[in-house]
């Protein structure tokens, strides 16, 4: 790369997952401009990236002229997923939250320096009209692209977070795959990312030396245990997987993420069998079932140890922002494949 760093324009920047992915990829790049409209996310981003030009703006306000002045080589982005998510209305391109992405497609032909694009979204995007419009725009602008459906489990990271990704570049095609297929694994010739790069069990991702008062803050409430004990996804430290953590984690019990058995000296199966017998939820208390902490979820999502939240951000806000973020390790590996 020489001494000249590649310049990244980070759109829908959230809490900085793309920025951390670029740092981890170590491709000789810097984020020169970052944009998001979410106030809480922007506070976290600025807390961690004080030197980055981060602005709270609607992306529709970005003109081709302004972007060209930034001279970005790379666009990294994670547009709103609600128009495509399985629990949403699936309004697709008719959803107002797609308007900023559609605006980007309009300005794309006028961007003079952009040679690489990386985009992340939810599973379901691959069958949307928005996807068709996006790939059509890429082709018309001379980009070659590859699509992926990938989870951190591909790295033997014990967390399921299946997501859709596109990597696109101008001038030369990729030496793997085809534009007519969606890949579900990393290409074989990318040996540096095809091997396991993190620990296989949950243990190394968990916080150590949990104080009693901290534990009390994260224990599942009695009413949650009583109402939802049959559907809880309970994990132990030695487990090699966990469910995807969503923005509704701790707010809703079903399908929002796993919980942890903190006290391993008690038998999970025995306690649940006792509960089955008489319906007394008190049998579960010795297990100390608790939520994963925001730091533990950040660890599973590949955020570095120096990532932190401002002290003013609430626990619920932290869960919501993490649920809307992405896996840093997966994106970093895709970025290396894109630039190599």
The answer on 169 and 212 residing in a single domain is no
Tell me, yes or no, whether 300 lies in a domain: no
Tell me, yes or no, whether 79 lies in a domain: yes
CATH code, domain with 239: 3.90.120.10
Q: Transcribe 306-326 into DSSP letters.
A: T----TTS-HHHHHHHHHTS-
The answer on 288 and 195 residing in a single domain is no
> Given a cut of 60, is residue 196 above it in pLDDT?
no
Q: Residues of the chain with pLDDT > 70: what percent? A: 91
Q: What is the pLDDT of residue 80?
A: 74
Q: What is the pLDDT of residue 191?
A: 45
Tell me, yes or no, whether 30 lies in a domain: yes
Count of domains for the chain: 2
Rounded average pLDDT over 288-312: 97
> Given a cut of 60, is residue 93 above it in pLDDT?
no
Q: What is the pLDDT of residue 190?
A: 55
The answer on 333 and 246 residing in a single domain is no
The answer on 235 and 163 residing in a single domain is no
Helix (H) or strand (E) segment spanning residue 263: none
Rounded average pLDDT over 250-278: 93
The answer on 330 and 220 residing in a single domain is no
Which has the closest alpha carbon to 164: 79, 58, 45? 79
> Given a cut of 60, is residue 86 above it in pLDDT?
no
The answer on 113 and 259 residing in a single domain is no
Instruction: Give bridge partners of residue 283 from the DSSP assignment.
Output: none
Tell me, yes or no, whether 309 lies in a domain: no
Confidence band, pLDDT 50/70/90 cuts, at residue 194 = very low
> Given a cut of 70, is residue 287 above it in pLDDT?
yes
Q: What is the pLDDT of residue 139?
A: 97
Rounded average pLDDT over 115-133: 91
Give the pLDDT confidence of 2-60 residue by residue, as tens digits. Answer: 457 899 999 999 999 999 999 999 999 999 999 999 999 999 999 999 999 999 999 89
The answer on 165 and 134 residing in a single domain is yes
Residue 81 annotated in active site? yes
The answer on 329 and 258 residing in a single domain is no
What's the mean pLDDT when you consider all of the chain?
91
Catalytic residue among 81, 191, 217, 243: 81
CATH code, domain with 20: 3.40.50.150
Rounded average pLDDT over 66-88: 80
Confidence band, pLDDT 50/70/90 cuts, at residue 218 = very high
The answer on 132 and 62 residing in a single domain is yes
The answer on 84 and 220 residing in a single domain is no
Tell me, yes or no, whether 308 lies in a domain: no
Tell me, yes or no, whether 176 lies in a domain: yes
**Domain enclosing residue 271, as ranges:** 208-292
The answer on 141 and 16 residing in a single domain is yes
Tell me, yes or no, whether 149 lies in a domain: yes
> Given a cut of 60, is residue 92 above it in pLDDT?
no
Q: What is the pLDDT of residue 3?
A: 59
């Amino acid at each position: 790369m020489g001494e000249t760093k590649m310049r990244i324009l980070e759109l829908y920047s959230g809490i900085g997952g793309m920025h951390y992915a670029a740092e981890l990829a170590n491709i000789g790049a810097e984020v020169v401009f970052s944009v998001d409209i979410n106030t809480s996310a922007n506070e976290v981003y600025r807390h961690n990236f004080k030197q980055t030009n981060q602005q709270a703006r609607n992306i529709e306000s970005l003109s081709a002229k302004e972007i060209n002045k930034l001279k970005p080589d790379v666009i990294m982005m994670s547009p709103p997923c609600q128009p495509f998510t399985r629990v949403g209305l699936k309004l697709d391109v008719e959803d107002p939250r797609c308007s900023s992405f559609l605006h980007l497609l309009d300005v794309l032909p006028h961007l003079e320096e952009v040679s690489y694009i990386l985009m992340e979204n939810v599973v379901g995007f691959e069958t949307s009209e928005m996807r068709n419009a996006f790939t059509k725009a890429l082709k018309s602008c001379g980009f070659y692209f590859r699509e992926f459906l990938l989870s951190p489990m591909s790295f033997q990271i014990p967390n399921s977070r299946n997501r859709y990704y596109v990597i696109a570049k101008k001038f030369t095609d990729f030496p793997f795959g085809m534009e007519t297929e969606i890949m579900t694994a990393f290409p074989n010739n990318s040996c540096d990312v095809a091997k396991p790069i993190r620990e296989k069990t949950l243990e190394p991702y968990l916080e150590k030396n949990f104080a009693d008062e901290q534990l009390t803050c994260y224990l599942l409430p009695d009413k949650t245990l009583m109402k939802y004990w049959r559907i809880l996804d309970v994990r132990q430290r030695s487990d090699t997987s966990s469910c995807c953590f969503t923005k509704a984690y701790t707010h809703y019990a079903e399908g929002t993420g796993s919980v942890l058995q903190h006290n391993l000296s008690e038998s999970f199966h025995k306690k649940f069998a006792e509960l089955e017998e008489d319906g007394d939820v008190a049998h579960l208390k010795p297990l100390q079932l608790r939520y994963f902490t925001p730091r533990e979820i950040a660890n599973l999502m590949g955020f570095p140890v120096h990532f932190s939240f401002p002290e003013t951000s609430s626990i619920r806000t932290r869960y919501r922002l993490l649920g809307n973020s992405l896996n840093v390790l997966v994106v970093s590996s895709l970025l290396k494949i894109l630039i190599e």
